[in-house]
Chains A and B, each alone.
Chain A
Amino acid sequence: MSELSDLYQQVILDHNKKPRNFHKLEGANRHADGYNPLCGDQLSVYLQMEDDVVKDVSFEGTGCAISKAAASMMTQSVKGKTRGEAETLFHEFHRMVTGELDEEATPNGLGRLKIFAGVRDYPARVKCASLSWHTLHAALHGEEIATTES
């Protein structure tokens, strides 16, 4: 079991308090809603895609610190990326928080997102961290609704 402070790192607490890109996106051409039916968390991800590039991205909704911070940092890290790059990040992030990817041993593009690695020691919280990513994934695929219960 990792220390609690690994989960609630300062960066995460900061993003929770001041989430980035936390608003509805005017000019969005893609949008999906994500639900975690276990806890009732709900968020929306908005995308403005230009050709194959995430020109702009934002989110709204309610959730715990982990899910809010994860969403906030998700928006920062996919902005400007191509759809393919964003998808790769989604898979890497998902594999990291479920413990399938050792983010230190295997090359990856996670960068600052590695601070969510600690979540894998808290199985009940993995879905909090990945909800926004699932929702992004759905929005990229033109689906309207994502859920952590797949």
Chain B
Amino acid sequence: MAAVTEQTLVDVENIVEAALVDAPVNISSVGVWDVERVRRDFPVLSQTVNGKPLVYLDSAASAQVPQVVIDRGSKYLGEEHSNVHRGVHYLSQRATSAYEGSRERVRRFINAREAAECVFVRGCTEGINLVMHGYGRKFIVEGDEIIISAMEHHSNIVPWQMLCEEKGARLRVIPMNDQGELQLDEFEKLLNERTKLVGVIHISNALGTINPVKEIVATAHKHGVPVLVDGAQGAPHLNIDVQDLDCDFYILSGHKLFAPTGSGVVYGKRELLDRMNPFIGGGSMIRSVTFEKTTYAGLPDKFEAGTPAIASQIGLGAAIDYLNGMDRAAALRHEQELLEYATARLNEIEGVTIIGTAGEKASVISFTVQDIHPHDIGTILDAEGIAIRAGHHCAQPVMQRFQIPATARASFAFYNTREEADKLVSAIRRVIEVFK
């Protein structure tokens, strides 16, 4: 059995390499961002909603999926569908090779040392829970402290609260200023010999703030404390190099990265992942099972019990190919231009207040309009075909910090246009008109 497995792995690696070489390429001429051409890669965007062309400004909730990702998913379902790591038969080997190929793509995308450090999970929430169970429950005890920031998504708050409750540990919070920037001097003061983990959001989904994660990691490491970075919003807007950041965990969410829901990644340093407890128990994560004792598989299988979301994870690999095939620097520049443009235009409207004005921001704009409730804004914009998010963005403490019940949020991806920002602005003027 072992021999077969090893042989299979060798084959798989060969196929993986082959697949990586002929990844689809879609290069727009260097430096110039041809947004109209890019939009054609995303079939969703050509729809009309309520008789108006769809203006999709909710990529921070879920980004749209390019045709190449859809095609890759249907290829798996149509030609390769079978379970991974379980069969010696042809289909299972193809599925395994595609699945592992995706892991290798993730590795390169975030510059992890080895693919085994990239554990597949179903999303960012599951990823953070994996670290809570695997690392937190094993190493954090009564009296210990966990530091998170004031702008975390609920997914990076609630698991730690659950752990604190269970262990008698304490949650401490890095405050932020009125611009929505973390107060790093306060962070330093929170670190002490009881601190066991720091969890911080890379880019705030509620404010757009880009946090100086590298600096935060360096500070925490001076105290010997590992750092988990919630990269759900980081990876879509920045180039991620986990070795350069030197973070201990980096969590990705596929559906924010132009891939299907059900895909995601926990990057962790091998040294930590090795020492951690497994998360979910079951098939695939074992080395051997008897009724007396189970020994666990090595990385990454130890953390991947059960049949994963294979089509989605393969889709994530295809999404990464897509991103690699574009001029990413130009894409990110385009997003920054949209951010600046939309910010300026929104600021022209009397009654609009932008929440989150950090110096370093991604193309996510939270705002309020007079005292009009964001849900009403969202409904009226929807009638114009404009999709935004309205609510607390799973970040109620952020809302409390700014003393507002909710915000409206427009988030821009590289496929959005200035015209769409203009449409947003006119629609907000209409909202004000309705509520006059």
Q: Is B375 a contact of A13 with CB atoms below 8 Å? A: no
Q: Which of B50, B373, B434 contacts A1 (CB 8 A)?
A: B50
Chain A 1-43 near chain B by CB (<8 Å), digits 1 or 0: 1001001100001001000000000000000000000111110
Q: Is A40 a contact of B399 with CB atoms below 8 Å? A: yes
- In the complex, A47 has a CB within 8 A of chain B: no
- Provide the bound-state CA to CA distance between A39 and B379, in Å: 13
Chain A 52-81 near chain B by CB (<8 Å), digits 1 or 0: 000000000011111010000000000000
Q: Is B379 a contact of A7 with CB atoms below 8 Å? A: yes
Q: Is A64 a contact of B376 with CB atoms below 8 Å? A: yes
Q: Which of A8, A39, A68, A125 contacts B406 (CB 8 A)?
A: A39
Contact A40:B373 (CB < 8 A) given known A65-B435, A124-B379 = no
A8 cross-chain contacts in B, Cβ below 8 A:
376, 380, 434
Q: Is B373 a contact of A63 with CB atoms below 8 Å? A: yes
- In the complex, B426 has a CB within 8 A of chain A: no
Tell me how far the C-beta of B408 lies from the nearest C-beta in chain A, rounded to whole angstroms: 11
Contact A125:B435 (CB < 8 A) given known A4-B383, A39-B406, A40-B405 = no
Tell me how far the C-beta of A3 lies from the nearest C-beta in chain B, rounded to whole angstroms: 8
Contact A122:B379 (CB < 8 A) given known A13-B434, A40-B399, A65-B373 = yes
Instruction: Name the residue of chain B whose CB is nearest to the CB of A68.
Output: B373
Beta-carbon contacts under 8 Å, B415-436 to A = 434-435
Q: Which of B50, B379, B383, B396 contacts A40 (CB 8 A)?
A: B396
A38 cross-chain contacts in B, Cβ below 8 A:
391
Q: Which of B373, B396, B405, B435 contacts A13 (CB 8 A)?
A: B435
Q: Is B390 a contact of A39 with CB atoms below 8 Å? A: yes
- In the complex, A49 has a CB within 8 A of chain B: no
B376 cross-chain contacts in A, Cβ below 8 A:
8, 64-66
- In the complex, A117 has a CB within 8 A of chain B: no
A7 cross-chain contacts in B, Cβ below 8 A:
379
Q: Which of A41, A62, A68, A125 contacts B379 (CB 8 A)?
A: A125
Tell me how far the C-beta of B49 lies from the nearest C-beta in chain A, rounded to whole angstroms: 10
Count residues of A near B (Cβ-Cβ below 8 Å): 21
- In the complex, B94 has a CB within 8 A of chain A: no
- In the complex, A128 has a CB within 8 A of chain B: yes
Chain B 400-411 near chain A by CB (<8 Å), digits 1 or 0: 000001100000
Q: Which of B376, B399, B434 has the most CB of A within 10 A?
A: B376
Beta-carbon contacts under 8 Å, B379-399 to A = 379-380, 383, 390-392, 396, 399
Count residues of B near A (Cβ-Cβ below 8 Å): 18
- Provide the bound-state CA to CA distance between A1 and B49, in Å: 11
Q: Is B380 a contact of A125 with CB atoms below 8 Å? A: no
Q: Is B380 a contact of A41 with CB atoms below 8 Å? A: no
Instruction: Name the residue of chain A whose CB is nearest to the CB of B384.
Output: A4
Q: Which of A1, A42, A125 contacts B375 (CB 8 A)?
A: A125
Instruction: Name the residue of chain B whose CB is nearest to the CB of A40.
Output: B392
Q: Is A39 a contact of B435 with CB atoms below 8 Å? A: no
Instruction: Name the residue of chain A whose CB is nearest to the CB of B378.
Output: A124
B399 cross-chain contacts in A, Cβ below 8 A:
40
A4 cross-chain contacts in B, Cβ below 8 A:
379-380, 383, 434
Q: Which of A7, A39, A62 has the most CB of B within 10 A?
A: A39
A122 cross-chain contacts in B, Cβ below 8 A:
379
Beta-carbon contacts under 8 Å, B343-378 to A = 372-376
Q: Which of A4, A13, A122, A124 has the most CB of B within 10 A?
A: A4
B373 cross-chain contacts in A, Cβ below 8 A:
62-65, 68
Can you spell out 30 A-B residue pairs with CB atoms less than 8 angstroms apart? A1-B50, A4-B379, A4-B383, A4-B434, A8-B376, A13-B434, A13-B435, A38-B391, A39-B375, A39-B390, A39-B391, A39-B406, A40-B392, A40-B396, A40-B405, A40-B406, A41-B405, A42-B405, A62-B373, A63-B373, A63-B405, A64-B373, A64-B375, A65-B372, A65-B373, A66-B375, A68-B373, A122-B379, A125-B375, A125-B379
A residues with a Cβ closer than 8 A to B are: 1, 4, 7-8, 13, 16, 38-42, 62-66, 68, 122, 124-125, 128
B residues with a Cβ closer than 8 A to A are: 50, 372-376, 379-380, 383, 390-392, 396, 399, 405-406, 434-435
What 4 pairs between A and B have smallest CB-CB spacing? Answer: A64-B373, A64-B375, A40-B392, A4-B383
13 further A-B contacts with Cβ under 8 Å, apart from A4-B383, A4-B434, are A4-B379, A4-B380, A8-B380, A38-B391, A39-B390, A40-B396, A40-B406, A41-B405, A64-B373, A64-B374, A64-B375, A65-B372, A68-B373
